[in-house]
Amino acid sequence: MGNNFFTDKALPANTSLKMASVPAASASVVSTPVGGADGWKVEDLFVSPFVCGRNYMELFQSVPEVFFPIDYIASRIAGSGFQLKKIKDDSIVWENKRMNQILTKPNCLMSWKEIIYSHFVYKLCTGNAFFRAAMGETFKNQPKWKWCDNYWELPADYVNVEPNLGVNIPVFGIAKEEDIIRCYRLNYGYVNTMDVPSYQIWHDRDGLPEYMSVDGFMKSQSRLAAHLKPIANLIAVYEARNVIYVKRGGLGFLVSQKKDDSGTVAMTKEEKDEILNSHYGQFGLNNRKLPYGLSDVPLSFIRTNLTISELQPFEETLTDAIQIAGAYGIPSVLVPRKDQSTFSNQATAEKAVYTSTIIPMAKQFCKQLSAFLGLEEGGYYLDCDFSDVDCLQQGLKEAEEVKTLINTRCKEQFLSGLISINDWRAQIKESKFENPVFDKTLFDMSDEERDMVKQVISLNTKSEVENGRENQEPTVQNEGK
């Protein structure tokens, strides 16, 4: 495969390359998880912790510490308000039937919120997400949002990127996508194998693409790949706790305390049998048995097992959970724990996650999806709204206060002839006016132009802009009347 990128050697069209079998302990280096009927099950994770390297979706669905950070981000992005806006003035477009349909029901089975949640779960869990626009080849060069009614999120753990093996692949040269990628192959239990044309797929990666792997060609590694040891520790701890809770094992030994002149005397077989028969017959924990036992033989008990508190598994799982959450930008104070109420900076931490991780990721998603759908050709783009998030309300208030201060300063500068109206609007991040008069400072305007400016800025009196000077203090003539 590696030679095929840089040489003129071509493989026969019917040649199929297969990855050599990888031992479970080294499978973590392969980016494509195993799935289908022959894939690993949840139970396999506890048999060999290293199996987790090829089963990221199984980990997400079965290990809480893996589920938490991925769900935290995906659910909040999916719960935001997605809006169609005009590129020209950033205004919201409410009456676009086609986009309203897509943003409500992108396909016959899923809502928009479900498809967004699936997209980010696959992307954050496996490192890859595959968004499909199911449409005919007739419209392949047309804007998808106008001609496609069915959008799907493919299960990333069952998708392979199939390269053009029959040609010299110009990976680092001048090429179109179809020159490098023959199709995206979906190997799924219910639909068997399905080849999807490359023009229908938006491949959203969470990291660097792999060029030299057959199974993982152009796919990215999962963030979880760098945290296999903490995950393996988690699995081992859960297994150990399960043994203590369910299987218990040997708790200890009953030792005879009988003595004679020579020292301690061991119990006879008859005495042992009598103690065991009494225990099983009369003593136990149900409502018909006593919680304590009586014995004619003096005994002592030697404990051989460790309790859960002595093993300290909760400290271990918390440490591992913090490492995994940190891979997704979630601070330790937000990781669920028994002493969570002691943290007073949770709101600040949650706000930081929104501003540094969730919102940038959602904005990038909207930008890339807008390009994939061809919205920019129609003068539109997708955006997401987080204005109803509680922890961000204080930030919005602060932003409005800053904007008010900027407006006040810009007004003073404009009335002093230092800046133009469009300079002012640029500082408050508004689009400029097309009329050339708004590019002039107050000193450069004629009287007629100053009258026009009154439509933009409220001026108290004409003398306020006369000769570019602000108003003098008005004379109080009727004071006291």
- The model's pLDDT over 292-334, given as tens digits with 9 standing for 90+, comes to 666 777 777 666 565 555 555 567 778 888 999 999 999 988 8
> Does pLDDT of 284 surpass 60?
yes
Across the range 62-83, mean pLDDT stands at 94
Q: What per-residue confidence (pLDDT) applies to 184?
A: 94
- 185-201 pLDDT per residue, tens: 998 766 578 899 999 99
Of the listed ranges 91-100, 258-267, 269-278, 467-476, the least confidently predicted one is 467-476
Burial zone of 336 (CB within 10 Å; 0-12 exposed, 13-18 middle, 19+ buried): exposed
pLDDT tens, position by position, 396-406: 677 778 888 99
Q: Is the whole-model pTM more than 0.75?
A: no
Q: Where does the pLDDT of residue 243 fall: very low under 50, low under 70, confident under 90, or very high at 90 and above?
A: low
Among candidate residues 33, 121, 117, 34, the one with its CA nearest the CA of residue 69: 121
Mean pLDDT, to the nearest integer, of 278-297? 66
Q: Is the backbone of residue 63 left (phi > 0), alpha (psi -120 to 50) or beta? A: beta
Rounded Cα gap, residues 135 and 151, in angstroms: 9
Whether the CB-CB separation of 225 and 53 falls below 8 Å is answered with yes
pLDDT in tens, 372-402: 999 999 999 999 999 888 878 766 677 778 8
CB 246 within 8 A of CB 262: no
Q: Which residues contact 72 (CB under 8 A, 6 or more apart)?
A: 328, 330, 334, 353
User: Across-strand partners of 255?
Assistant: 300
User: How much is the pLDDT for 134?
Assistant: 95
Are residues 256 and 267 in contact, defined by beta-carbon separation less than 8 angstroms? yes
Which of 360-369, 403-412, 415-424, 434-443 shows the highest mean pLDDT?
A: 360-369
Please give the mean pLDDT across all residues of the chain.
77
Q: Which residue matches tokens 């150990």? A: 240
Mean pLDDT is lowest, of 47-51, 235-239, 387-391, for 47-51
- pLDDT tier for residue 15 given thresholds of 50, 70 and 90: very low
Higher pLDDT: 11 or 225? It is 225
Whether 115 contacts 152, CB under 8 Å:
yes
Rounded to 5 degrees, what are φ and ψ at 220?
Answer: -105, 150
Query: Comparing 5-14, 178-187, 409-418, which segment has the lowest mean pLDDT?
Result: 5-14
Q: Which of 412, 444, 438, 440 is nearest to 425 (CA)?
A: 438
426-454: pLDDT as tens digits = 888 787 788 888 888 888 888 888 877 77
AA letter at 137:
E
Above pLDDT 90, what percent of the chain?
30
What's residue 312's pLDDT? 55
Q: What percent of the chain has pLDDT over 70?
A: 71
Say if residues 462 and 408 touch (Cβ distance below 8 Å).
no
3-state helix, strand, coil in the chain (%, to 5): 50, 15, 40
List phi, psi (to 5°) of 203. -95, 110
Rg (CA), the chain: 34
Q: Under a CB-based contact definition with an 8 Å cutoff, are residues 402 and 410 in contact?
A: no
Q: Compute the residue count for the chain.
A: 481
Run of H or E residues at 253: strand 252-256
φ/ψ of 227, rounded to 5, equals -130, 35
The three state secondary structure string of 163-181 is ECCCCCCCCCCCCCHHHHE
